[in-house]
């Protein structure tokens, strides 16, 4: 299991925010769950570039941080669903605003990454 080497900096709200969303797929997971995709297999199909193990790790972290809730159903095969908590719902407008910023600046940003990928 991963053991943190440096303590979480809590004196700044930005550090707390980054601690919660830090992870390559966390914002995508939050958005997918907000959009109605709730089961791990569905999330894996929606984010195929991420490994199932990484998604499971980041889902667990989001549950630990109070952003998601996890419901396990007592049946075979095992059924698990994730939902946004009220705290998690407060991230949705931030994600929407961030996505809008990306779209509004696509003409400037996209060529930077296309050129980078060609190197």
pLDDT single digits (tens) 14-41: 988 998 999 999 999 999 999 999 999 9
CA distances from 16 to 12, 21, 65 (A): 7, 9, 10
User: What's residue 11's pLDDT?
Assistant: 82
CB atoms within 10 A of CB 81: 16
- Rounded mean pLDDT, 75-92: 94
Q: Could you give the maximum distance between any two Cα atoms of the chain, in Å? A: 51
């Amino acid at each position: 299991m991963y053991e943190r080497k440096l303590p979480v900096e809590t004196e700044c709200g930005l550090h707390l925010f980054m601690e919660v969303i830090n992870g390559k797929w966390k914002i995508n997971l939050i958005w997918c769950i907000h959009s109605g995709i709730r089961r791990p297999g569905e999330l894996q199909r929606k984010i195929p570039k991420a490994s199932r193990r990484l998604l499971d790790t980041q889902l667990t972290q989001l549950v630990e941080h109070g952003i998601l809730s996890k419901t396990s159903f007592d049946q075979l095969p095992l059924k698990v669903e994730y939902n946004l908590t009220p705290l998690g719902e407060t991230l949705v407008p931030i994600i929407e605003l961030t996505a809008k910023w990306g779209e509004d600046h696509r003409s400037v940003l996209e060529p930077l990454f296309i050129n980078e990928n060609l190197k």
